[in-house]
Amino acid sequence: MNKLLAWMEKHLVPFAAKIGSQKHLVALRDAFIGTMPATMAGSVALMINAIIRDLPAMLIKGYDVANVPVLRDIVGINGFVWQGTLAIAGVIFAYTWGYNLAKAYKVNAAAGGVVGLATLFQGVAFSASTAINVPKGELGQKALDLITAAGSTVSVSDVKDPVTGAISQFDTITTGAWGWLKLAHLGGNAYFTVMILGAISVIIYSKLMLKNITIKLPDSVPPAISKAFAAIIPATVALYVIAIINYVVGKVSGGQLLIDLIQKYIAEPFMGATQSLFAVLIIGIFIQVLWFFGLHGPNIMAPILEGIYGQAQLVNQNIYQAGYNGLKGADAVKEAVKDGKAYNWVRGSFDAYAWFGGSGGTLVLIVAIILFSKREDYRAVGKLSLGPGIFNINEPVMFGLPIVLNPILVIPFVLAPTASLAIGWLATNAGLVNPVTQAPTWVTPPFLLSFMATFDWRAPIVTLVCVIVSFFIWAPFVIAANKVEIPED
């Protein structure tokens, strides 16, 4: 064990620390954190709607919030909050990513945020279209003239009956309107595109700024104006590079948008791969190992936790609100999961089923200490850590016990949450519990958190199973620690 710890401390910790301080990854982490005011506000609105609209409908037959005064108005107000937060989370992230990346390069951060924002909007759909088939002859010539005068097109198509083989002619009416932004391009689905193209544009902007390829104004000009003018040339070059990329991709792909191609060929396969039990366990283990060496695992792993599983959670939240294939709420999400458009395991799943009391499930450790520990130092720290632990704050026990660099506790610290992750993953993927569709604040106590994250009464039961298994993993090591002599000062 000592040799393994020495090897990890020599090779793994410096590597993880280097990753944790890499400026691009730090900027990405801070960009996700920067979206929290909006995403948390949207999550609160979505949760309130779930409580007053969806939860009663599960319990009361015939319940319809539209028939309940005041509550229906609250639902409507929350809908506006959702539209300005979770529905356009990609837009918000585009600004915070550009801002923090430019800040990392020590150039005008506000202009970097604007470049990031403009980068996203360059590549989204600006038109909406739909097509319907009407049996030929049912629409008179005047109706057809009115349709075409309104900007729609009418074409004749042949449709073969699959049973009789008869061919019928239809007037295919295609309507189109320019200036309508596609909502699917503005939400969580935009994250991968923003990360890739936003990095290209903002790094170009930042490099040109650092090389002083700027418009220089006299010293008498106010600094705010000078900064704005200095950013003009770098920002213009950066945005033209992105425009050329978008144009070339559109030509080569036959008119497809780059954001759709990135989502289809990069984002969805990558996010699908991270849904496996193996991926979830590896990420969970790595986070625990980082914590053991005193490094903040979730912060270092934020590009994966927030960039992948966080995006998956946003997708689930938006489908829960907007619906899918005529379904609403959790049913819509489960249906979308079947089509690969939603996800069983998301960012909140870690909190719901493994990180009760904080990373490592340390609330269970605290309970085991109170019940079994005979060491005064352990008992003192355990009692002081119980209150914070109930609200998922585990720094007191992490550094007070400590768990960090404690060779006795490293095994359960890694093994207990790993077992919990496996149980939560299996229960969710087996359909025993609904996927996480809400984002209750991280300080929500265990059991209540898993219920509010899923609005499924079975979720706290799964959490209880995880807690019991974790307890039986932690307890023997707490008892073993009683035999370790307390070093004298």
Residue 81 lies in a domain: no
Give the tokens for residue 424: 């939560």
Q: Are 433 and 456 in contact (CB under 8 A)?
A: yes
- Predicted confidence band of residue 482 (pLDDT cuts 50, 70, 90): confident
**pLDDT over 80 (residue 176):** no
Residues 223 and 328 in one domain: no
166 within a domain of the structure (yes/no): yes
Write down which residue in 256, 287, 312 finishes a domain.
256
Between the CA atoms of 23, 25, 28 and 34, what dihedral angle is there, to the nearest 10 degrees?
A: -70
| Same domain membership, residue 197 and residue 176 | no
**Cα–Cα distance measured from residue 485 to residue 111, given in angstroms and rounded to the nearest whole number:** 59
- When pLDDT is averaged across residues 4-10 and rounded to a whole number, the result is 59
DSSP 81-107: HHHTTGGGHHHHHHHHHHHHHHHHTTS
Domain end call among 116, 149, 180: 180
> Average model confidence (pLDDT) for the chain?
87
> What is the rounded average pLDDT of the residues 235-250?
96
CA dist., res. 250 & res. 82, Å (int): 32
Query: Is the Cβ–Cβ distance between 237 and 212 less than 8 Å?
Result: no
Q: Are residues 333 and 226 in the same domain?
A: no
H helix intervals, 8-88: 13-21, 23-34, 36-49, 55-59, 71-83
pLDDT score at 307? 86
The reply to whether 377 and 427 lie within a common domain is: yes
What percentage of the chain carries pLDDT values higher than 70?
87
Same-domain status, 198 and 234: yes
243 and 229, same structural domain?
yes
Beta strands in 286-379 (DSSP E): none
| Contact present, 424 and 353 (Cβ < 8 Å) | yes
* pLDDT level of residue 160 (50, 70, 90 thresholds): low
User: CA–CA separation, 101 vs 112, rounded Å?
Assistant: 7
As a whole number of angstroms, the distance between CA 148 and CA 34 comes to: 47
pLDDT of 325 strictly over 70:
yes
Quote the pLDDT of residue 399: 86
Last residue of a domain, one of 224, 256, 288: 256
Long-range contacts of 5-14 (CB under 8 A, 24+ apart): 5/405, 5/407, 5/410, 8/289, 8/293, 9/293, 12/289, 12/293, 13/293, 13/295
Distance CA 26, CA 300 (A): 8
Task: Provide the pLDDT for residue 73.
Answer: 94
Q: How many domains does the chain have?
A: 3
d(CA 472, CA 383): 20
Give a yes or no: residue 458 inside a domain: yes
| 8 A C-beta contact, residue 447 and residue 463 | yes
Centroid of chain to Cα 105: 25
Nearest of 139, 175, 171 to residue 157 by alpha carbon: 171
- Among 31, 45, 46, residue whose Cα is nearest residue 90: 31
Q: Per the domain annotation, does 284 fall within a domain?
A: yes
At 203 the pLDDT is 97
Question: How do residues 403-441 score in pLDDT, each as one tens digit?
Answer: 888 888 888 999 999 999 999 999 999 999 999 999 988
Residue 206 has which token pair? 């930042």
Q: Are residues 297 and 436 in the same domain?
A: yes
Amino acid letter, residue 179 = G
Q: SS3 for 130?
A: strand
235 and 194 in a common domain: yes
Contacts for 256-264: CB closer than 8 Å, 24+ residues apart: 257/123, 257/124, 257/125, 257/185, 258/123, 258/193, 258/197, 259/123, 259/124, 259/185, 259/189, 259/190, 259/193, 262/192, 262/193, 262/196, 263/189, 263/192, 263/193
Q: What is the mean pLDDT of residues 374-391?
A: 90
In a domain, 414, yes or no: yes
Confidence at residue 166, expressed as pLDDT on a 0 to 100 scale:
66
- The reported pLDDT for the residue numbered 489 is 47
In 10 A of CB 464, how many CB atoms?
13
- 354 and 398 together in one domain: yes
For residue 108, the model assigns a pLDDT of: 93
Q: Are residues 298 and 388 in the same domain?
A: yes
Q: Which amino acid is at 275?
A: Q
d(CA 222, CA 241): 30
Phi–psi pair at 177, nearest 5 degrees: -140, 125
In a domain, 361, yes or no: yes
pLDDT in tens, 200-237: 999 999 999 999 998 887 777 787 788 888 889 999 99
Instruction: Decide if 95 contacts 31 (C-beta within 8 A).
Output: no
pLDDT in tens, 110-154: 999 999 999 999 999 887 777 677 777 666 777 667 767 666 666
Look at residue 18 and tell me if it is in a domain. no
More confident call, 394 vs 14: 394
Q: Report the b/e string of 201-217 with b at 16+ CB within 10 A.
A: bbbbbbebbeeeebeee
Q: What percent of the chain has pLDDT over 90?
A: 50
Question: Pick from 340, 342, 192: which is nearest to 258 by CA?
Answer: 192
Considering the domain boundaries, does residue 72 fall inside one?
no
Please say if the pLDDT value at position 44 is more than 80: yes
Q: In this structure, is the dihedral angle defined by the CA atoms of residues 352, 357, 358 and 360, taken in order, positive or negative?
A: negative
Q: How many CB atoms lie within 10 A of CB 469?
A: 18
Does one domain contain both 159 and 302?
no
Yes or no: say if 48 and 82 are a contact pair by the CB < 8 Å rule. Answer: no
- Domain region containing 144: 127-180
The residues near 217 (Cβ < 8 Å, ≥ 6 apart) are 225, 226, 229, 230
φ, ψ dihedrals at 178, nearest 5° = -90, 145
- Position 144 scores a pLDDT of 66
DSSP state of 445: P
pTM: 0.82
Closest CA relative to residue 173, chosen from 147, 210, 141: 147
> Same domain, yes or no, for 300 and 415?
yes
